Amino acid sequence: IARPFSEIPGLWKNGVVNLYNFWKLDGFRNLHRIMLQNFNTFGPIYREKIGYYESVNIIKPEDAAILFKAEGHYPKRLKVEAWTSYRDYRNRKYGVLLKNGEDWRTNRVILNKEVISLKMLENFVPLLDDVGLDFMARLHKKIKRSGQNKWTTDLSQELFKYALESVSSVLYGERLGLMLDYIDPEAQRFIDCITLMFKTTSPMLYIPPALLRQVGAKVWRDHVEAWDGIFNQADRCIQNIYRQLRQETGTSKEYPGVLASLLLLDRLSIEDIKASVTELMAGGVDTTSITLLWTLYELARHPNLQEELRAEVSAARAASQGDMLDMLKRIPLVKGALKETLRLHPVAVSLQRYIAEDIIIQNYHIPAGTLVQLGLYAMGRDPKVFFRPEQYQPSRWLRTETQYFRSLGFGFGPRQCLGRRIAETEMQIFLIHMLENFRIEKQRNVDVQSTFELILVPDKPVILTLKPL
Ligand code: HEM
Ligand code: 2DC
C-alpha cells in the first residue's frame, strides 16, 4: 500500500522561509544545481515549496513515464505568471504556449500540421539551408578580414542572428537580412529584448508579478519593456506579410512560410495566429543558438569526435549528392551529438505537468492536480540513468536501450515543443555546414558551467577559434 502524500520528503512546510534560504543560495541563478542537490539529499522524489511555487520533483525515466501517462487530454505545464500577466496587462491574446484546455487543443492541432509535421520538412529544409550557407559566407568573410586565417570569438551574438534569421525565414518565407554587414537595428533590439525577457522572468517564478507590479519593481518594468519590444517587432513582420497577401492575386506554387499558410488556411482567427507566431518567433532565438554554442564547445573539447562527425557528414554529402533532405537521414551521429548536448546542457531545467489523475510514484500517493516536475538537468547527469554521465558521448544514442524516456530535451507528448522540427533541422543543417567548413578549437582552458536565466545558459563567454579547413 502506497504511503501518503504528506510523507514525501522535502522542504514544503514554509514557503517564505524556503524562499529566503533559496535567495541566500543565489537560487535564482542556481536552480539546476539546487535541484541536483535536493535529489542527493532526499532521494528520487521530493516535495518542495519556494515562495508560492509548490511541486513534487522526480528524476527517474520510469517515473517520467508514469507522469506523462497521467497528463490527461489537455496537458498543462507550470504557468509562467510573468508571461500571462504581461498579456493580461497589455490586453494581448495568449498563443499556444500559454493557452490551456480546449482552446489550446484546437489551436495546437492546426499549428501541428504547419509547424511540426514531418511533411513540412521539405518546405523548411531549402529555406534553412540557404541561411546556413549565408552564415558560412559571413564567417569566411570575418576570417578574411581578420587577416589571420582564423577567428577567435564569442560566437553567441552571431548565433542569435543565425537563429532569428532561420526561424523568420520559415515563419515568413522571407529573409530579414541578418547575415548582411549592416543589419536592421530593430532586429538587433528584438534579440536583446528576448534575452532581457528571459532574465527578468526567473525572479517572478517565485514572487507574484501582480505584487511586483503594484510596488513598481524594476524587474516588472524591464519585463514589460522587453515584451513590448518583442511584440512590436513581431507585429511589424506579421503586418508586412499580411499586406503582401492581400495585394497578391494569383497563387504561386512556392511555399509561402508558416504565417501565410495559416492565414490562407483560415481556420484560426487572425488574433490567434498573431499570438502564436509571435511566440514562435520569440521562442526560436535563444533556445537553438545556445544549444549550438554548447555543441561547438563540446566539439572543440573533443577533437577526435569532431573528426568522426566530419567524416560522417562528408560521407553523407557524397551519398546524397547534395540533396539536403536526404543528407539529413544519413547523419545519426550528428543527431546523437545534439541529444548529448541537450542531456548535459538542457534548455529547460525541468519538464512539468499538473497531473490529471492520482498516481503512485516511488510508492508515494500523489493526488490529481499536483504540479509534478521531472528534473531534466539532474536526470541527464545521474549515473544511475546514464553510464559515465560526465562524458560527452554522442554514440550512446545509437543504442535503442538509451532512449526510453531519456531523450526529453523537447518535452514529451502532445504538449511537447512546437518548434521541435524547426529547431532540430536548423541545428543539424548548421552543424553540417560548420563541420564542412571549419575546424573548431577551444581557446583557453576555462570550464564553462550553466546558469539559470529561465533557460539554462553558459555562465561565462564561450571563446572559440574557427579555422577554415
Ligand atoms: C515548448 C524546448 C526550440 C517554440 C517547449 C518545451 C520545451 C522546449 C522543453 C516544453 C515542452 C513540454 O512541456 O513538454 C526547446 C528546445 C529548443 C526549442 C530544447 C531548441 C534547442 C524552440 C523553437 C521554437 C519553440 C525554435 C519556435 C520555433 C516552443 C513553443 C512551445 C515550446 C511554442 C510551447 C508549446 C505548447 O505549449 O503547446 N520547448 N525548444 N521552441 N517551444 Fe521549444
Ligand atoms: C523554467 O521552474 C523553470 O521552450 C521553471 O521556447 C519551470 C519552467 C516552465 C516552463 C518552461 C521554462 C521552465 C523554461 C523555458 C521553456 C518553458 C516552456 C517553454 C519555454 C522551456 C523549465 C521555451 C524556452 C519557449 C519559450 C517561448 C517564449 C519565449 C515565447
What digits encode the pLDDT tens for the residues 368-412? 999 999 999 999 999 999 999 999 999 999 988 778 999 999 999
- Ligand 1 proximity of 96 Cβ (cutoff 6 Å): yes
When the pLDDT of each residue in the chain is averaged and rounded to a whole number, the result is 95
- Ligand at shortest distance from the CA of 227: 2
Amino acid at 428: Q
Residue 373: count of CB within 10 angstroms of its CB? 20
Contact 349 CB / ligand 2 (< 6 Å):
yes
Q: What percent of the chain has pLDDT over 90?
A: 90
Closest ligand to C-alpha of residue 285 is 1
Q: Grade residue 13 by pLDDT with cuts at 50, 70 and 90.
A: confident
Q: Do the beta carbons of residue 174 and residue 166 sit within 8 Å?
A: no
Query: What number is the average pLDDT over the span 1-21?
Result: 89
pLDDT above 80: residue 469: yes
Nearest ligand to the CA of 290 is: 1
**309 C-beta closer than 6 A to ligand 2:** no
Q: Is the pLDDT of residue 251 over 70?
A: no
The strand pair at 359-361 and 364-366 is best described as antiparallel
Rounded distance, CA 30 to CA 12, Å? 19
pLDDT tens digit sequence for 314-332: 999 999 998 999 999 999 9
| Residue-wise pLDDT tens digits, 260-283 | 999 999 999 999 999 999 999 999
Flag whether pLDDT at 1 surpasses 90: no
Is the pLDDT assigned to residue 24 strictly greater than 70? yes
336 has pLDDT over 70: yes
pLDDT band at 20 (very low <50, low <70, confident <90, very high): confident
C-alpha cell at 208: 507574484
User: Ligand 2, atom 17: nearest CA belongs to which residue?
Assistant: 348
Q: Which residues pair with 10 in a beta bridge?
A: 47
**Contacts with 370 (C-beta within 8 Å, 6 or more apart), sequence order:** 5, 55, 56, 354, 355
What is the rounded distance in angstroms from the CA atom of residue 281 to the CA atom of residue 284? Answer: 5
Asked whether 279 and 95 are in contact (CB, 8 A), the reply is: yes
pLDDT for 249 beyond 90: no
The values of phi and psi at residue 240, to 5°, are -60, -50
Average pLDDT, stretch 164-181? 97
Answer yes or no: is the C-beta of 282 below 6 A from any ligand 2 atom: yes
Q: Are strands 45-50 and 450-453 parallel, antiparallel or unpaired?
A: unpaired
Q: CA 155 to CA 292: how far, in whole Å? A: 10
Residue 128 pLDDT exceeds 90: yes
Q: Which residue has the higher pLDDT, 22 or 327?
A: 327
In whole angstroms, give the CA distance from residue 128 to residue 16. 48
Instruction: Answer whether 422 contacts ligand 1 (Cβ < 6 A).
Output: yes
Alpha-carbon torsion angle 64, 65, 70, 72, nearest 10: 100
What is the ipTM, given to two decimal places? 0.99
Residue 384: count other Cβ atoms within 10 Å of its Cβ: 11
- pLDDT for the residue numbered 229: 98
pLDDT tens by residue, 94-110: 999 999 999 999 999 99
Tell me how far apart the terminal alpha carbons of the chain are, to the nearest angstrom: 63
B/e letters for 433-469, b = 16+ CB within 10 Å, e = fewer, are bbbebbbbbbeeeeebebbbbbbbbbeeebbbbbeee
- Residues 447-465 have a mean pLDDT of 96
Question: pLDDT band at 51, cuts 50/70/90?
Answer: confident
Question: What spacing in Å lies between the alpha carbon of 410 and ligand 1's midpoint?
Answer: 6
- Specify the residue with its C-alpha closest to ligand 1, atom 32: 417
Distance from the alpha carbon of residue 142 to the mean position of ligand 1, in angstroms: 32
pLDDT for 400 equals 81
CB 171 within 8 A of CB 277: yes
CA distance 30 to 22: 9
Q: What is the pTM of this model?
A: 0.97
Q: Closest Cα partner for 234 from 178, 275, 188, 174?
A: 275
Cα 338 to Cα 427: distance, rounded to the nearest angstrom: 8
Rounded-to-integer distance, Cα 412 and Cα 68, Å: 8
CB 269 within 8 A of CB 413: no
Locate the ligand 1 atom nearest the alpha carbon of residue 347 and give its number.
19
48 C-alpha to ligand 1 centroid (Å): 25
Place of cell 532569428: 164
Buried b (16+ CB within 10 A) or exposed e, 317-330: beebeeebeebbee
For ligand 2, atom 3, the nearest C-alpha belongs to 454
| pLDDT at residue 25 greater than cutoff 90 | no
Question: pLDDT tens digits for 346-357?
Answer: 999 999 999 999
Distance 350 CA to ligand 1 centre (A): 12
Residue to mutate, 198, 289, 350, ligand 2, most ligand atoms under 8 Å from C-beta: 350
Residue located nearest, by CA, to atom 16 of ligand 2:
348
Q: Which residue type, as a one-letter code, is found at position 334?
A: V
- Residues 59, 37: Cα–Cα separation, whole Å: 12
Cα 111 to averaged position of ligand 2 atoms, centre (Å): 19
